[in-house]
Chain A
């Protein structure tokens, strides 16, 4: 299930270039554009999850303000001004649809000027570490029998795990895992023979070579992964799972203790949602908000399926379909509005629908059986938001895809706080709301369960 979640959350196809950013406040992935042989990244999208940011453009001039740092770029020019100082870019600045793109190779020069702190960029793999966020692995082999390899990490991790003949593969898409020192470690054991580390296209990978299939179990709050040779019966299951779709090799008990939350940043792509301000679209606020909520829920032990992790389009049916297929425990759709204040929490207002016949449920009222639990979660979210001084209220709304999902589902519409519209783009404001939602969902986790 977790592997399916990770597979679905990869909004751009795996062949697309992407850049992963690991920062103390958020971990996220952005698509990389190629122009004239150079790789580019959207500067606004890059900074948005990290702090308060705004931009505007006039003609070929493009300005951005991140917290208290002002910068000015010019389309087609390889020179920019940040906080009054001139800097050279490795390739000309690009403006497309009022969005500014900087060369990826210039990140190490430019980002410290905005963030005021050093960054570590693995340019070959396009992995960017802001501050001290890297997670170091170490290995400890216990010869057994049966032999076990204990992997200790300096922080919690949640890799996608896949098996293939003679190898167990762990892909760290959202974890700031770095090299253990050597790219390859050989073990003096006939079953577990070697561990090798590699990183590419925004992800890190640990491959464990073994003579027999391995099973992974998590412990120590996600900081320890123990690999042991699988019993014979499990070995056949593992082999049967070899296909084009990666399958999780975590035992059912590990999965059962880690409920899956689906986060749906509403709108995206051509569908911008509400125009919250001249340069602030709802789709951008919901994405930043979703990334923060992902971080908050992950830190509380939830597995996450983020329905889009970039500016991509998804139909409402696709969103509901992905959540239902993943058999998630809870579905949270995120919206933003310029009217009202605080936050509104919505559950489905079900339409008039015929009786359910047999096993199948009507698509437009699939939510019916989970509605009572949805309301319980929504009330918990309202309570937590109010504790954090948000004006909050729960009510039903005819809002898709809430009525199409089988699991408890709610939508949160974030509205301005005391600072007006500026709050909606504020990472701090979003962070408080995300923490309240995560606390509330976590408080109901015992009642969520895994959907059948």
Chain B
């Protein structure tokens, strides 16, 4: 016969152990969730400078077109930094819930190099391309949106190249060819004719 107090103690300890197990599992899940969220957020420092009105060319998947949208964003003084902030402002639109064209929250512009005469090189992070949806329409809208926004707001850009993590990549997500320079005039004509 097991004494009653021993039975109660063992039961209480079992309940405690099971409860601690659930709590530990819950805490582990929260920690992982925090880690993932932190890793996906862009780490660029917020821009500072006077607010300016710019024109962003925002893709609309359903209609298959770009729409010009005026936006007021703070832009730093340097030409290169201005270009980077410009595209980051565009990306933020695509990362909002309910966007007409979506990009992963982890997508970011690592840097933009403005090379005279008239060349711009956009360096995207890996998440931008790796998590981009695959399809001619959606990929081409992304490319056109980046190129047209840059060309319209940064005078003197005539051709644009897109790199991923500093390297040439064959396609954005299986379709849009990234191995060549994009002719700003041709892209502009395509956008105007849509």
- Chain A positions within 8 Å of B, measured between CB atoms, are 267, 271, 273-275, 282, 335, 337-340, 344, 346, 349-353, 364, 393, 395-400, 403, 411, 413, 415
Can you give 19 contacting A-B residue pairs, CB < 8 Å? A273-B174, A274-B174, A335-B175, A338-B135, A339-B61, A339-B133, A340-B137, A346-B136, A349-B182, A352-B159, A352-B183, A364-B180, A395-B190, A397-B176, A399-B136, A399-B140, A399-B176, A400-B177, A413-B137
Cβ contacts under 8 Å, B175 to chain A:
335, 397, 399
A274 / chain B contacts, CB cutoff of 8 Å:
133-135, 173-174
- Scoring B residues 150 to 194 as 1 if CB is less than 8 Å from chain A, else 0, what string do you get? 000000000100000000000001111101111100110010011
Knowing A339-B135, A340-B64, A352-B181, say if A397 contacts B140 (CB, 8 Å): yes
CB distance from B31 to the nearest CB of A (A): 31
**B160's closest neighbor in chain A, by CB?**
A352
Give the contacting residue for A398; candidates B62, B133, B140, B173; CB below 8 A.
B140
A268 to chain B, nearest CB (A): 12
Cβ of A35 to closest chain B Cβ, rounded Å: 31
Contacts of B137 in A (CB 8 A): 337, 339-340, 344, 413, 415
- CB-based contact A398/B143 at 8 Å: yes
Residue from B61, B159, B183, B193 with most neighbouring chain A CB atoms (10 Å): B183
Measured between alpha carbons, how far is A398 from B62 in the docked complex, in Å?
A: 20
Cross-chain contact B138 with A398 (CB below 8 angstroms) = no
CA distance A265 to B140 in the complex (A): 20
Task: Give the chain B neighbours of A273 by CB distance below 8 A.
Answer: 134, 174
A-binding residues in B (CB < 8 A)? 61-62, 64, 133-138, 140, 143, 159, 173-177, 179-183, 186-187, 190, 193-194
B156 to chain A, nearest CB (A): 15
Please, which residues of chain A bring their CB within 8 A of the CB of B64?
Answer: 340, 344, 393, 395
- Rounded to whole angstroms, the CA-CA distance of A340 and B137 in the bound complex is 8
Q: Contacts A395-B193, A395-B194, A399-B177: A351 and B183 contacting too (C-beta < 8 A)? A: yes
Which residue of A is nearest B173, CB measured? A274
In the complex the two chains form, what is the Cα distance from A267 to B173 in whole Å? 12
Bound CA span A275–B133, Å: 9
B124 to chain A, nearest CB (A): 15
Minimal Cβ-Cβ distance residue in A for B159: A352
Complex Cα spacing A399 to B174, Å: 10
Q: What chain A residues lie within 8 Å of B136 (beta carbons)?
A: 335, 337, 344, 346, 397, 399, 411, 413
Q: Which residue of B lies closest to A347 (CB)?
A: B190
State in angstroms the CA–CA spacing of A337 and B159 once bound together.
28
With A339-B133, A413-B137 given, is the CB distance from A398 to B176 under 8 Å?
yes
- Say whether B182 contacts A352, CB under 8 Å: yes
**Chain A residues, Cβ within 8 Å of B182:** 349, 351-352, 398
For A275, A282, A349, the residue with the greatest tally of chain B CB atoms inside 10 Å of its CB is A349
Residue of B nearest to A350 (CB): B186
CA distance A185 to B87 in the complex (A): 75
Which of A393, A395, A398 is the one whose CB lies under 8 Å from B180? A398
- Other-chain contact of B135, A337, A349, A393, A395 (Cβ < 8 Å): A337
Give chain A nearest CB distance to B84 CB in angstroms.
Answer: 22
Cα A395 to Cα B143 with chains together (Å): 14
- A395 cross-chain contacts in B, Cβ below 8 A: 64, 140, 190, 193-194
In the complex, residue of chain A having the shortest beta-carbon distance to the beta carbon of B189: A396
When chains A and B are docked, how far (Å) is the Cα of A282 from the Cα of B173? 13
B186's nearest neighbour on chain A, judged by CB, is A349
- Chain A to chain B: the 10 pairs with minimum beta-carbon distance, closest first: A351-B180, A337-B135, A274-B134, A352-B181, A398-B177, A396-B190, A397-B140, A352-B183, A413-B136, A352-B159
List B contacts of A349 (CB < 8 A).
140, 182, 186-187, 190
Q: Give the residue among B137, B174, B175, B180 with the most A Cβ atoms within 10 A.
A: B175
Q: Return the chain A residue nearest B140 by Cβ.
A: A397
Say whether A282 contacts B194, CB under 8 Å.
no
Collect the chain B residues with CB atoms within 8 Å of residue A267's CB. Answer: 174
Report the nearest A residue to B193, measured CB to CB. A395
A267 to B91, CA, bound (A): 29
Rounded to whole Å, the gap between the CB of A353 and the closest CB of chain B is 8
Of B140, B177, B187, most buried by chain A (CB within 10 Å of CB) is B177
Chain B residue nearest to A398 in the complex (CB):
B177
Min C-beta distance of B118 to chain A, whole Å: 10
- Cross-chain contact of A396 among B62, B138, B174, B186 (Cβ < 8 A): B186
Distance (whole angstroms) from the CB of B1 to the closest CB of chain A: 50
A133 CB, min distance to chain B CBs, angstroms:
35
Question: Across the interface, do A275 and B135 meet the contact criterion of CB distance under 8 Å?
Answer: no
CA distance A395 to B191 in the complex (A): 9
CB distance from B59 to the nearest CB of A (A): 11
Contacts of B62 in A (CB 8 A): 340
- 7 additional A-B pairs beyond A267-B174, A350-B183, A398-B177, beta carbons within 8 Å, are A337-B134, A340-B62, A349-B186, A351-B177, A397-B140, A398-B140, A398-B182
Docked Cα-Cα span, A367 to B159, in Å, equals: 19
| Complexed CA–CA distance, A170 and B173 (Å) | 43
